[in-house]
Amino acid sequence: MLVVRPIKQSDFAALFAMADESGVGFTSLPVDEPLLRDKIAHSLRSFAGESEPERFFLMVAEDSETGEVVGTSAIDAAVGLTTPFYTYHLGKVVHASRSLNVYNVVETLTLSNDYTGVTELCTLFLREAYRSGNNGRLLSKCRFLMLAEHPEVFHPTVIAEMRGVSDEQGNSPFWQWLEQHFFSVDFPTADYLTGVGRKEFIAELMPKHPIYVNLLSEQAQSVIGQVHSKTIPALKLLQGEGFQNRGYVDIFDAGPTIECRLDNIRSVAQSQKVHVVIGDVIGGDEMLLANTNISQFRACVDKVNLNTKRAEVTITAATGKALRVNEGDPLRLVAVR
């Protein structure tokens, strides 16, 4: 069984290995020891309830049988409050002349900080050997149970940046055009600098005026709003939860930033808070389960017997131990699919 829990200092080696495996374009998990240690420390403070401009909850998935850490997932409670959070907004301008009978609609990309202060789902990565069954859904959707149980900690708008198109060497067609005309820095370098928080070059070098999309190369235009092939399952899962693209894309690889109101997220709206009964589970339905203690957060997927009328759920003693709940304790759950 995989159990999602808050990251610990002792998980650093596993987190570093996953950062290395994630490859170029995974901005929120850079291969940088000081930064990863800072992320762990930031998360420890956030789970402990310390007040900061940005609370950051970094979790890992642990194999309960082997103790191996095999995945990671996070929630940034309020982005852009300590360092700018940039996106491009895809808009339109009209060039028209009635006398010449000309009417042209041109798409533009405008640099923005429109998502400042919102909550971001981020840092989702699962090692390839564990990408089966409901493991990916657990790692992604457990965050919705935290949002549902503790909405006061988070912003009413929730976003997720989807990884854009790039090849195995980390070359992004969109960035190649920007690099040629404005930056003279390759995509892996720009992605790394952003991941480690050195974003000042964006304000210094990014074009200050809207970019006309039709002036970009055909290759750059073709990937705007598209996702990396490995990101398609994550995108479909979030779309199924109600997330939509409102025209915002990443400034480096043009991957879409999708959003949803917290209370409109399907797993938030459909989750139930019930009380625990420890016993034998007969048959049962697979459910995503999480305790209600943010500092000791635990989540897993298991078969349970749910009694909706009595607001009770029967779980095994082993599941109760994994979730750190006892008889009569509250538990939040939602259907896995």
Predicted model pTM: 0.90
Write down the pLDDT at residue 27.
65
Contacts of range 236-239, beta carbons closer than 8 Å, 24 or more positions apart: 237/136, 237/137, 237/140, 237/141, 238/121, 238/140, 238/160
Write down the pLDDT at residue 230.
84
Active site residue 228: yes
Write down the pLDDT at residue 178.
79
CATH class for domain 271-335?
mainly beta
CATH entry, 2-79+116-209+219-267, from 3.40.462.40, 3.40.630.30, 2.60.130.10, 3.40.50.300: 3.40.630.30
Write down the pLDDT at residue 15.
95
The radius of gyration of the chain from alpha carbons, rounded to an integer in Å, stands at 22
CA-based nearest residue to 115, from 92, 75, 146, 81: 81
- Per-residue pLDDT for the chain (337 aa), expressed as one digit of tens each? 999 999 999 999 999 999 888 766 566 777 888 889 999 999 999 999 987 888 999 999 999 999 999 999 999 999 999 888 989 999 999 988 889 999 999 999 999 999 999 999 999 999 988 988 899 999 999 999 999 999 999 999 999 999 899 887 777 888 888 777 777 677 667 666 666 566 566 666 677 789 999 999 999 999 999 999 888 989 999 999 999 999 999 988 899 999 999 999 999 999 999 999 999 999 999 999 999 999 999 999 999 999 999 999 999 999 999 999 999 999 999 999 8
CA-based nearest residue to 332, from 261, 269, 275, 266: 275
Query: Quick one: how far is CA 335 from the chain centroid?
Result: 20
Write down the pLDDT at residue 175.
83
Write down the pLDDT at residue 43.
96
Residue ranges of the domains in the chain? 2-79+116-209+219-267, 271-335
Other C-beta atoms closer than 10 Å to the C-beta of 78 total 20
Write down the pLDDT at residue 50.
87
Catalytic residue, from 89, 95, 209, 228: name it: 228
Write down the pLDDT at residue 12.
96
Residues in contact with 297: Cβ distance below 8 Å, sequence separation at least 6, in sequence order: 4, 5, 6, 47, 57, 59, 146, 290, 291
Q: 69-76 and 56-63: which strand pairing?
A: antiparallel
Domains 2-79+116-209+219-267 and 271-335 share a fold: no
